[in-house]
């Protein structure tokens, strides 16, 4: 039986359908690569003209400037925020970028600086942060952009120390901020006996840090230990592919202040629930409280959901149990899902840990 021949219109229609199908399939397969490429500034970092440097003498250069919650304690907290600038134009975002600053105030500060509000006054500098693309590639340009961001944090830290010459200090950072605080610890604190004496603890939240970096400032072994570091990068139990990707792309600071591949070096993990590298496992019943504090005003304590997350430090990763609550599901755009989560599963644990270590520091110092 002879098949009817197709008309020109039918040929055009079928061809168009096939082309659309191929295009949709290609976008589905390479969507991440396409979106990532859109964040690439497309200029070599060496010829790149960065935004103007912040002036930390001015209040406009601080997202939080000695912010105190009612009844806050005696510590001075220096907090470095995570990546909020996506990129597309600049390797390093300007400090007055509106969308970045909005996300910082709306989500990052309430969820990650919030746990330290009861510990004392909290300061958080704006800085020319490396864009999100630099967290998704191993390119040399991206590494240079991340190292460039440290210049601002170093300058902000110098100004902050001048304003806080005495008393207990806490250093805290999340994601990109954790990397930068790690740099501060080893370039500034570890070589200064007075600063080491003043250090209550450092919290490197959602950051991968080589275990060997703990030689000068140790990982916390006890909940009442002072002058130590808590560091962790959390991954949902069972997501081995994500853990392998993180470890494969881990970068560490070298002696020249540049970022190099970790080459499979063991990474540090201190369970924030136990506060001890020697107690890597915590059950759900141990969890003091997770929260989504997004849009909460500074100083207001969020509502907690306790006993909903189990965690275990294993092979340099903090493996945490899956969560069913709608409050703790990644939301937003493709880019949003590659930033620090807009919730904190260990908020109440971090808060309690910081207050406990301040009390221990004050006993040692005779306050």
pLDDT for the residue 4: 60
Of 139, 122, 22, 136, the closest CA to residue 62 belongs to: 122
- Alpha carbon 111 to its chain centroid, in Å, reads 11
pLDDT for the residue 12: 57
pLDDT for the residue 326: 81
Of 265, 264, 284, 260, the closest CA to residue 273 belongs to: 284
**Strand pairing class (281-282; 169-174):** unpaired
Tens of pLDDT, residue by residue, the chain (367 residues): 455 665 766 565 556 555 544 444 433 443 344 455 568 898 999 999 999 999 999 999 999 999 999 999 999 999 999 999 998 889 999 999 999 999 999 999 999 999 999 999 999 999 999 999 999 998 999 999 999 999 999 999 999 999 999 999 999 999 999 999 999 999 999 999 999 999 999 999 999 988 887 778 999 999 999 999 999 999 999 999 999 999 998 888 887 888 888 877 899 999 999 999 999 999 999 999 999 999 999 989 999 999 999 999 999 999 999 988 888 887 788 778 878 999 999 999 999 999 999 999 999 876 5
Residue 86 contacts residue 134 (beta carbons within 8 Å): no
**Exposed e or buried b per residue across 202-220, where buried means at least 16 C-beta atoms within 10 angstroms of its C-beta:** bbbbbbbbbeebbeebebb
Residue 179 contacts residue 205 (beta carbons within 8 Å): no
Residue 305 contacts residue 325 (beta carbons within 8 Å): yes
pLDDT for the residue 29: 41
Dihedral pair phi/psi, residue 256, rounded to 5°:
-95, 5
**Strand pairing class (234-236; 75-80):** unpaired
CA dihedral 246, 344, 223, 193 (to 10 degrees): 70
Q: What is the DSSP letter of 366?
A: T
- The answer for residues whose C-beta is within 8 angstroms of residue 58's C-beta and 6 or more apart is none
pLDDT for the residue 37: 58
pLDDT for the residue 61: 98
Residue 211 contacts residue 265 (beta carbons within 8 Å): yes
């Amino acid at each position: 039986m002879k098949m009817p021949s197709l008309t020109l219109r039918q040929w055009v229609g079928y061809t168009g359908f096939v082309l659309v199908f191929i295009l949709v399939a290609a976008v589905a397969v390479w969507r991440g690569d396409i979106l990532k490429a859109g964040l690439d500034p497309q200029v070599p970092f060496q010829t790149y003209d960065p935004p103007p440097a912040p002036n930390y003498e001015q209040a406009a250069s601080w997202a939080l400037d000695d912010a105190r919650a009612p009844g806050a304690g005696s510590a001075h907290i220096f907090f470095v925020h995570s990546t909020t600038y996506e990129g597309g134009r600049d390797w390093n975002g300007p400090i007055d970028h509106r969308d970045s600053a909005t996300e910082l105030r709306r989500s990052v500060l309430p969820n990650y600086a919030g746990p330290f509000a009861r510990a004392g006054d909290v300061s958080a500098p704006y800085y020319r942060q490396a864009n999100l693309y630099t967290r998704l590639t191993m390119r040399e340009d991206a590494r240079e952009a991340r190292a460039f961001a440290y210049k601002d944090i170093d300058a902000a830290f110098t100004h902050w120390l001048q304003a806080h010459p005495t008393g207990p200090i806490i250093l805290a950072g999340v994601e990109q901020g954790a990397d930068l605080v790690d740099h501060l610890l080893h370039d500034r604190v570890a070589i200064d006996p007075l600063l080491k004496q003043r250090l209550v603890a450092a919290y490197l939240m959602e950051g991968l840090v080589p275990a060997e970096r703990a030689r000068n400032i140790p990982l916390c072994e006890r909940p009442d230990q002072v002058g130590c570091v808590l560091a962790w990068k959390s991954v949902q139990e069972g997501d081995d592919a994500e853990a392998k990707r993180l470890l494969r792309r881990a970068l560490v600071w070298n002696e020249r202040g540049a970022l190099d591949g970790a080459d499979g070096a063991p990474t540090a993990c201190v369970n924030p629930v136990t506060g001890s590298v020697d107690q890597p496992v915590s059950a759900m019943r141990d969890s003091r409280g997770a929260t989504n504090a997004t849009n909460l005003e500074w100083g207001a304590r969020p509502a907690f959901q306790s006993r909903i997350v189990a965690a275990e430090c294993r092979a340099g990763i903090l493996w945490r149990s899956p969560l069913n609550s709608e409050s703790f599901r990644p939301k937003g755009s493709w880019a949003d899902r590659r930033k620090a989560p807009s919730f904190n599963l260990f908020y109440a644990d971090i808060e309690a840990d910081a207050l406990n270590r301040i009390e221990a520091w004050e006993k040692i110092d005779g306050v």
